[in-house]
Amino acid sequence: MAILNVMVIGAGQMGSGIAQVCAQAGFNVKLNDMKQEAYERGIGTITKNLSRNVEKGRMTEEEKTATLGRISSSLDLKDAHDADIVIEAAVENMEIKHNIFKTLDEVAPKHAILASNTSSLPITEIAAATNRPEQVIGMHFMNPVPVMKLVEIIRGLATTDEVYKTVEEMTLKLSKTPVECNDFPGFVSNRILMPMINEAIFTLQEGVATKEAIDDIMRLGMNHPMGPLQLADFIGLDTCLYIMEVLHDGFGDSKYRPSPLLRQYVKAGWLGKKSGRGFYEYS
Ligand SMILES: CC(=O)CC(=O)SCCNC(=O)CCNC(=O)[C@H](O)C(C)(C)COP(=O)(O)OP(=O)(O)OC[C@H]1O[C@@H](n2cnc3c(N)ncnc32)[C@H](O)[C@@H]1OP(=O)(O)O
Ligand SMILES: NC(=O)C1=CN([C@@H]2O[C@H](COP(=O)(O)OP(=O)(O)OC[C@H]3O[C@@H](n4cnc5c(N)ncnc54)[C@H](OP(=O)(O)O)[C@@H]3O)[C@@H](O)[C@H]2O)C=CC1
């Protein structure tokens, strides 16, 4: 199936990145959010990233203008009426994703693929909100989307080979590397990454070392580009907590219990870089 029109739901850090790389690859993109301000923020980030590409000589001013010209604003899910694929990147919450997928199933063309960028929520359960579970798939981009090469592609129980292949081909057109996995809590990426981040938060909570020391040890000792606490701030502490809860509920194993300190920070509204404060402060 040929994909021309893409709709991205959620203009936050992931949705804006996904819209950017799709527009850069030549797809027509509608970027949807609930509020115009969220769209303005998202398109502002995209414009800044594209301007940097021009400054660095990776793109001409004309290509930047053409890329921005392929992105339009949407505040209504009904705008999915002409989409070939919808990539949902709203908040990590099953009820919200269920509502979005139920509506999309009603308004998107019959042939349209409905993909989710969920970090950890079961694709099969999201698909159950629709009458087209065979066309629902996980398309999990990594943050920051314009830089990171991986897209983890998750097959739900009913996802067809044809849908998998179409999404795999689209991922290659985005100059990213698709890697396949099955639908299990946290998939592969977050089943392995998030317990490490959670353990770093327990380590801080227990006073084993300062936040800077924990990050330095993992950065310099393990050659990680960011320490785990800095990475948690970068991902968003709310998203980290949601993912730990999915692992905890999904496996029923106490080894995945979220750190109380993580819960406390989220309750305080300290969500990391996006809210200006998490383990670190951001201006
Ligand atoms: C939670 C999930 O479900 C899954 C996830 O996504 S988990 C998170 C996965 N991501 C990671 O683990 C990221 C770990 N961190 C890194 O790889 C690096 O620190 C980083 C790429 C973010 C920044 O790299 P750095 O070398 O430390 O800094 P910096 O020199 O500023 O950036 C390198 C390049 O990335 C670009 N970049 C950095 N942040 C960016 C952003 N948010 N958006 C777009 N581009 C960005 C910079 O512009 C720079 O590009 P050029 O210099 O070539 O123009
Ligand atoms: N952060 C990360 O590193 C990664 C996150 N993900 C996943 O991507 C998704 C988005 O995360 P991220 O971009 O970080 O989150 P953000 O909080 O940055 O962005 C989410 C955006 O979606 C909007 N939104 C919420 N509900 C709806 C809705 N019903 N319809 C349309 N838009 C809506 C939010 O609006 P408002 O702010 O007004 O609520 C916000 O603008 C999550 O599922 C997350 O797990 C995947 C890979 C990496």
Is the CB of residue 146 below 6 angstroms from any atom belonging to ligand 1? yes
Q: How far are the Cα atoms of 11, 87, 211 from residue 34, in angstroms, in the given order?
A: 9, 15, 36
Please report where in the chains the tokens 């795999």 appear, as a residue.
168
pLDDT tens per residue across span 84-128: 999 999 999 999 999 999 999 999 999 999 999 999 999 999 999
Q: Whose CA is closest to atom 8 on ligand 2?
A: 89
Cα–Cα distance for residue pair 72/145, rounded to 1 Å: 19
What is the per-residue pLDDT for 259? 98
User: Residue 158, SS3?
Assistant: coil
Q: What is the pTM of this model?
A: 0.97
**How many percent of the chain have pLDDT more than 70?**
100
Structure tokens at 235: 């991902």
Choose the catalytic residue: 119, 120, 189, 259.
Answer: 119
Cα distance between residue 229 and residue 282, in whole Å: 14
Query: Would you list the domain boundaries of the chain?
Result: 5-182, 190-273
Place of tokens 């989220």: 266
| Mean model confidence pLDDT for the chain | 97
Question: Does the structure show a pLDDT above 90 at 1?
Answer: no
- Does the model's ipTM exceed the 0.90 cut? yes
Bridge partners, residue 179, by sequence: 152
d(CA 221, CA 274): 27
Which residue has the CA at smallest separation from atom 24 of ligand 1? 225
CATH of domain 190-273: 1.10.1040.10
Rounded average pLDDT over 212-223: 98
The answer to whether domain 5-182 has CATH 1.20.1090.10 is no
pLDDT band at 203 (very low <50, low <70, confident <90, very high): very high
274 is in an annotated binding site: yes
Catalytic site includes residue 119: yes
Q: Is the pLDDT of residue 266 over 90?
A: yes
> pLDDT digit string (tens) for 16-72?
999 999 999 999 999 999 999 999 999 999 999 999 999 999 999 999 999 999 999
Average pLDDT over residues 121-143: 98
